[in-house]
C-alpha cells in the first residue's frame, strides 16, 4: 500500500471511485472543501493501478472524525481498507490525538465490520442523522480510543508518505 497526501488534482480519480462504491456519494465540492480545510486527506496509489482508495480524517482539538473511506470496487476485500484505516489512525496518533469518532449507516455491514476489526466500538445512535432525498436515517456512532502504541510504522512520518495537515 502506498498512502500519500491527496491533492486537488486527485479529486477526479477519487470522485470516480466514490460514485461507484458509495450509495450516497460525496460531491466534488465535498472533497475540494476537505482539502481546502486542511483535513487529513490521503490516497492509496500504485503505478500500475493508479488511485485505489482514499480516506479523510477531520482533526478537531485533540480528537478526530473519520469522514470518508473508500476502496475501488475491483480492489475491495484485499485488505486495503483495513491498511488505510490503520495508517490514518497512526497519523492521528502521531498528532497526539486521543480518539477518533465516526458515523456509520446501519446497513453498511462491510464498513462496520472493518471499523470493529480496527478497534472501533459502538457508543450510540444519532437519530435521523443522515438526510438524503427527503428521507432520514439513523447513524451508528463509533469511537476508537488511541494509545500511543501501534503495530504499524507511523503513517505520515516516512519519506514519500507524508499526509496533509
Ligand X SMILES: CC(C)(COP(=O)(O)OP(=O)(O)OC[C@H]1O[C@@H](n2cnc3c(N)ncnc32)[C@H](O)[C@@H]1OP(=O)(O)O)[C@@H](O)C(=O)NCCC(=O)NCCS
Active site residues: 103, 115
**Residue window 114-153: x/- pattern of binding to ligand X, with contact defined by CB under 6 A:** x--x------------------------------------
Under rule CB under 6 A, residue 69 binds ligand X: yes
Whichever of 82 and 162 has its CB closer to ligand X, that residue is 82
Instruction: Judge residue 7's burial from the number of C-beta atoms within 10 Å of its C-beta, 0-12 exposed, 13-18 middle, 19 or more buried.
Output: exposed
Residue 156 in the binding site for ligand X (CB under 6 A): no
CB of 56 to ligand X, least distance (A): 9
Nearer to ligand X, 28 or 82 (CB): 82
Q: What is the DSSP string of 128-156?
A: EEEEETTEEEEEEEEEEEPPS--SS--TT
- Asked if residues 83 and 69 have their Cβ atoms less than 8 Å apart, the reply is no
Amino acid at each position: 500500500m502506498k498512502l500519500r497526501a491527496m491533492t486537488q488534482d486527485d479529486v477526479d480519480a477519487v470522485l470516480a471511485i466514490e460514485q461507484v462504491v458509495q450509495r450516497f456519494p460525496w460531491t466534488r465540492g465535498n472533497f475540494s472543501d476537505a482539502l481546502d480545510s486542511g483535513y487529513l486527506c490521503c490516497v492509496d496509489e500504485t503505478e500500475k493501478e493508479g488511485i485505489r482508495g482514499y480516506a479523510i480524517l477531520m482533526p478537531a482539538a485533540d480528537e478526530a472524525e473519520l469522514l470518508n473511506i473508500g476502496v475501488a470496487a475491483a480492489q475491495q476485500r484485499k485488505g486495503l481498507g483495513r491498511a488505510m484505516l490503520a495508517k490514518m489512525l497512526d497519523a492521528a496518533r502521531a498528532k497526539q490525538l486521543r480518539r477518533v469518532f465516526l458515523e456509520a449507516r446501519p446497513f453498511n455491514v462491510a464498513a462496520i465490520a472493518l471499523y470493529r476489526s480496527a478497534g472501533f466500538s459502538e457508543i450510540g445512535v444519532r437519530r435521523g442523522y443522515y438526510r438524503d432525498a427527503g428521507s432520514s436515517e439513523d447513524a451508528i456512532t463509533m469511537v476508537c480510543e488511541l494509545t500511543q502504541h501501534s503495530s504499524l510504522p507511523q503513517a505520515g512520518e516516512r519519506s514519500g508518505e507524508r499526509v496533509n495537515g
